[in-house]
Amino acid sequence: MLRSYRSVGLCLFLALVAAASSTTGTCQTLTVLHDFTGGGDGAIPAGGLTIDASGRLYGTAHIGGDISGPSCGGIGCGIVFQLTRAGSSWALNPLHQFTGADSDGASPTATLVFGPDGKLYGTTLAGGSGPCSGNFSWPGCGTVFSISPPARACERAICPWDETVLYSFTGAADGAYPGFGALALDQAGNLYGATRQGGALGQGAVYELSRSNGAWTELTLYSFAGGGDGSMPNSGVIFDSAGNLYGTTHQGGSSGDGTVFELVPAGSGWSFRLLWTFTGGTDGRWPFGGLIFGGSGDLFGSTSSGGGAGGTIFEMTSVQGMWTLNTIQNLEGYLTGDLALDQAGSFYGQTVGGGAYGNGEVFKLTSSPNNWTLLDLHDFMGSDGVEPFGDILLSNGTLYGVTEYGGPYHCQEATCGVAWELTQ
């Protein structure tokens, strides 16, 4: 049964505004679409949701699925799932259960993306066939995979999709443990991402996967040194219109607080450019989520600490090739995924921690001349979720996301998480 929650604080605010201005206002309603149980439906969803043209939602759960195998400590290696509207309810269909063995991945943590071929592409934090020199407790250094409906007709109500491991990281120069950022695709369908560790110097790498004659080849575009250039990129990379790549590192830089960087195609390789080094002051520290472009071409992102009680949201502006950073909002919690942008230029996000109950919140950030205004859309209470994680999805004015924990079911020593919808 679906459960809905009114955003009481926002409703009160809008009521006061309406009383003062003789206007009417509406308040948001959050609906829990699925309570994860830790069984075949998975648990602890750590990536965001993706939507197709028919309104079906796709996501991943960090653990759960097939718990019989030995590879993931008896808690399951995670799943890919589909959420489909069924009348007034939603139904979860497991599309693939990771095994962590026989070259399969384990522990998916990033948002899935659709490729030009209609397949879904994603990464797993662990698993794969490559020998791994890292220190992660699960097998393998991670994978890049694709998943698509079965080629042959299936007569069962719930049919697994076909999963293909495109690449298994080895922990060497190619990288190890792809993080929480979604893959980026260029016009040719090549895939781009970042790994938290590995690379030539062990501090993380940015990579490209290109397809030729049905096979995929990995190319390391840049290996972080862990010094002024940064280390441990937790998020992915994004393209600008000229084909340059942008991203953040969680650590490193001259102060050890993380960096913003650009990779520019240069002949047969890529040239690294440092755009910003975080200092841990008002500019924040330790960016965890990724970057997005605003309507004016500025870069927007977040940090997980510094500036205030929690993280920050920042804007980066380029003038004649020189970038400057301005902190536009301090937060009680911090973002682990990307912001979403609507057509009016407002941003949406979700925080781990913060909010009225300390369990996280969904917010809207709007701009006016020389000012930004933060509006709390929903405060998580526990039964509706705890610690919203990953990217937030905005589709036709409705917001979608997942929380790592919360809901009525318990997995190990924590609750299993939920998938939610917020109508405006």
Contact between 167 and 192 under an 8 Å Cβ cutoff? The reply is: no
Question: What pLDDT score was predicted for residue 298?
Answer: 95
* CA-angle at 394, arms to 390 and 397, nearest 5°: 150
Q: Is 386's pLDDT higher than 90?
A: yes
> Per-residue pLDDT averaged across 49-70, rounded?
90
Q: How many CB atoms are located within 10 Å of the residue 57 CB?
A: 24
Question: What pLDDT score was predicted for residue 21?
Answer: 35
pLDDT tens for residues 62-106?
999 877 666 777 788 999 999 999 888 999 999 999 988 777 999
> Per-residue pLDDT averaged across 362-374, rounded?
91
Greater confidence, 8 or 238? Answer: 238
- Per the listing, tokens 């990464």 go with 123
Question: What pLDDT score was predicted for residue 69?
Answer: 65
Domain extent, residue 72, equals 40-184
User: For residue 251, what is the DSSP state?
Assistant: B
Domain-embedded: residue 149: yes
- As given in the structure block, the two tokens for residue 212 are 């030729």
Domain-embedded: residue 55: yes
Residue 90, φ and ψ in degrees, nearest 5:
-130, 145
> Per-residue pLDDT averaged across 178-206, rounded?
95
Question: What pLDDT score was predicted for residue 54?
Answer: 95
Q: Is 26's pLDDT higher than 60?
A: no
Domain-embedded: residue 155: yes
Q: Is 44's pLDDT higher than 60?
A: yes
Percentage, residues of the chain above pLDDT 70: 91
Strand partners, 395: 398
- As given in the structure block, the two tokens for residue 415 are 């609750």
Question: What pLDDT score was predicted for residue 13?
Answer: 47
* Run of H or E residues at 105: strand 105-108
Please say whether the dihedral angle defined by the alpha carbons of residues 161, 164, 170 and 173, taken in this order, is positive or negative: negative
Percentage, residues of the chain above pLDDT 90: 75
Number of separate domains in the chain: 1
Q: Is 4's pLDDT higher than 90?
A: no
Domain-embedded: residue 256: no
Q: Is 110's pLDDT higher than 90?
A: yes
Domain-embedded: residue 273: no
Q: Is 25's pLDDT higher than 60?
A: no
Q: Is 136's pLDDT higher than 70?
A: no
Give the C-alpha separation, 197 to 4, whole Å.
Answer: 40
Q: Is 329's pLDDT higher than 90?
A: yes
Question: What pLDDT score was predicted for residue 214?
Answer: 81
Confidence of residue 17 (pLDDT cuts 50, 70, 90): very low
Q: Is 18's pLDDT higher than 60?
A: no
Contact between 334 and 304 under an 8 Å Cβ cutoff? The reply is: yes
Give the C-alpha separation, 62 to 120, whole Å.
Answer: 17
Q: Is 155's pLDDT higher than 90?
A: no
Please say whether the dihedral angle defined by the alpha carbons of residues 60, 64, 68 and 73, taken in this order, is positive or negative: positive
Question: What pLDDT score was predicted for residue 178?
Answer: 95
Confidence of residue 24 (pLDDT cuts 50, 70, 90): very low
Domain-embedded: residue 278: no
46: left (phi over 0), alpha (psi -120 to 50) or beta: alpha
> Per-residue pLDDT averaged across 321-340, rounded?
93
Question: What pLDDT score was predicted for residue 179?
Answer: 87
pLDDT tens for residues 257-280?
999 999 999 988 999 999 999 999
Question: What pLDDT score was predicted for residue 20?
Answer: 43
> Per-residue pLDDT averaged across 289-318, rounded?
91
Residue 16, φ and ψ in degrees, nearest 5:
-65, -40
Give the C-alpha separation, 276 to 266, whole Å.
Answer: 21
Average pLDDT, the chain: 89
- Cα-atom radius of gyration of the chain, to the nearest Å? 21
Greater confidence, 8 or 193? Answer: 193
Domain-embedded: residue 348: no
Give the C-alpha separation, 207 to 41, whole Å.
Answer: 31
Q: Is 137's pLDDT higher than 70?
A: no
Question: What pLDDT score was predicted for residue 15?
Answer: 43
Give the C-alpha separation, 39 to 66, whole Å.
Answer: 8
Residue 11, φ and ψ in degrees, nearest 5:
-60, -40
Give the C-alpha separation, 140 to 131, whole Å.
Answer: 7
Domain-embedded: residue 212: no
Give the C-alpha separation, 127 to 102, whole Å.
Answer: 9
